[in-house]
Structure 1
Amino acid sequence: MPKEDQNNLLFTLQHDFKTKLFLSYIDIKFKAVLINSSTSWYKLASYTIEEKNSVLSKIHLHLDDFVTIYEEDHEKSYAIIKGIF
């Protein structure tokens, strides 16, 4: 794909992404929403959590990882990570 077409596609996706992100913040009733004018995208993210038994666990998330999401009502959902920003 020519570079110009890639740039146009990325611009379109990023604009649509920001719109959907803004609407999702409204949907979950976030009072203050700040969406930066530039977005950085990453291939992975990592963070540390403290388990109930005070053990620290380091979590690594990569693009295309399959993850389980535990919702507040204790139901499970599943997702594939398609973007990290």
Structure 2
Amino acid sequence: MKGIAPTKDFKRDCAKLGVEIITSKEWGEVFSCLRQGQALPVQYKDHALKNSLRGYRDCHIFSDLVLIYKIENNILYLIRVSSHSDIFG
């Protein structure tokens, strides 16, 4: 099991989401897989990021709900969770 380190931005994003998203099956499945070091199911479109976000990954919890994260030294860093346009412009 991995330790979790959410950023201020991630916490702020979560406060905006609403309980129905945070308690959804999809949210639970993504976080369970990440904490256990398992690969995410293909429907979450997990992939490495490039350029200024090199070393980070993103996955799509829902079609327009993107999670940016990084796993390093057995710690799951939660960077952002928001719409694609909110994160990437």
TM-score bracket for the superposition, by shorter chain length? under 0.3
Larger radius of gyration: 1
Question: TM-score normalized by structure 1?
Answer: 0.26
Q: Tell me which of the two structures has the higher relative contact order, counting C-alpha pairs closer than 8 angstroms and 6 or more residues apart.
A: 2
Q: What is the TM-score when the length of structure 2 is the normalising length?
A: 0.25
